[in-house]
């Protein structure tokens, strides 16, 4: 099912993210995905800069074996135009419906970046949805639901510009970077509404693991973290981070179209936060 279809059927959509395996085995990730089946609406399969299993093949396997809807990440970093075309044809043929297009940062120098921006890659996927490849009309077409990311609590003028370009390029939904300023997120939604945009936005939720986590997010990813949250995390572990994340979810429940959980390697955190977000009764 497409993310856009989920959003029409549900009051509050919950997605989460998981990394493909580092080793040539799908056993553990399949078990983890099965634990999440019924608790989340879709599972993102990331594309990290570290060498890992392919996100599309992992997503197709989990969709079949774990019976869970998936969203595979597609990066500018890793693919030529020819490679992306073959990859996306295969993904559609394997029953995958959703993709999140990202630029794909890396410290390495031997990356491809045939697509110079996420917007050009989004347009490429959209053209395949229209049955066109490099101006050549083809029989048959894909029909991917295309997502993109923004950082709504950072520079909001820049992020609004990015959102507008993403929508113009062909995006159907947005997943944000982690939110630690709910008021800024809500303010950004107000600006989106003022623009007359009808784009669903899932708020990013990441339970901090430690005090150092906030420093990393701010320095490396440009994600601002509120001072009172930093103070709460001093000397604490991820259990406090989960408590903070739970509070943020409650603040955003009536504002966002849903949430996207970054679990920081903790599948149990996904279950806990998804249960809260969906208000699933806890079995005794």
Domain map (residue ranges) of the chain: 3-278
Which band of pLDDT confidence, cut at 50, 70 and 90, is reported for residue 107? low
Cα 209 from Cα 258, distance rounded (Å): 23
Structure-token match 């959003």, residue found: 7
User: Using one digit for the tens of pLDDT, what is the confidence trace for 230-252?
Assistant: 999 999 999 999 999 999 999 99
Percent share of the chain, pLDDT over 90 = 85
**Nearest CA to 233 among 206, 257, 251?**
206
Integer Cα distance of 72 and 205 in angstroms: 19
Contact by Cβ (8 Å): 146, 177 = no
Strands 98-102 and 70-75: parallel
CA proximity to 107, closest of 49, 46, 147: 49
Per cent of the chain over pLDDT 70 is 96
Both tokens of 207, joined, read 């339970």
In the chain, alpha helices (H): 3-9, 27-36, 55-65, 81-93, 118-129, 156-169, 182-194, 211-216, 227-233, 238-252, 267-278
Q: Domain spanning 3-278 has what CATH number?
A: 3.20.20.220
DSSP, collapsed to helix, strand or coil, labels residue 70 as strand
């Amino acid at each position: 099912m497409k993310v856009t279809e989920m959003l029409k059927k549900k009051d509050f959509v919950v997605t989460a993210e998981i990394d493909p395996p580092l080793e040539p085995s799908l056993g553990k990730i399949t078990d983890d995905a099965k634990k999440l089946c019924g608790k989340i609406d879709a599972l993102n399969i990331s594309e990290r800069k570290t060498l890992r299993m392919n996100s599309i093949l992992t997503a197709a396997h989990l969709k079949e074996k774990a019976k869970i809807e998936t969203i595979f990440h597609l990066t500018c970093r890793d693919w030529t135009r020819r490679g992306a075309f073959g990859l996306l044809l295969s993904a559609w043929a394997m029953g995958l419906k959703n993709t999140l297009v990202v630029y794909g940062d890396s410290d390495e120098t031997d990356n491809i970046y045939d697509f110079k921006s996420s917007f050009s890659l989004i347009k490429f996927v959209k053209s395949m949805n229209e049955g066109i490849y490099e101006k050549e009309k083809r029989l048959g077409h894909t029909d991917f639901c295309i997502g993109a990311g923004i950082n709504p609590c950072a520079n909001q003028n820049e992020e609004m510009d990015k959102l507008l370009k993403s929508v113009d390029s062909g995006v159907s939904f947005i997943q944000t970077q982690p939110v630690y300023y709910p008021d800024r997120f809500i303010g950004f939604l107000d600006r989106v509404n003022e623009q007359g945009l009808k784009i669903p936005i899932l708020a990013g939720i990441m339970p901090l693991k430690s005090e150092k986590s906030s420093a990393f997010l701010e320095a490396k990813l440009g994600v601002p973290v509120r001072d009172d949250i930093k103070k709460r995390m001093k000397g604490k572990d991820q259990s406090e981070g989960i408590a903070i994340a739970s509070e943020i979810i409650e603040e955003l429940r009536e504002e966002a179209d849903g949430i996207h959980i970054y679990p920081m390697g903790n599948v149990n955190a996904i279950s806990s936060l998804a249960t809260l977000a969906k208000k699933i009764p806890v079995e005794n």
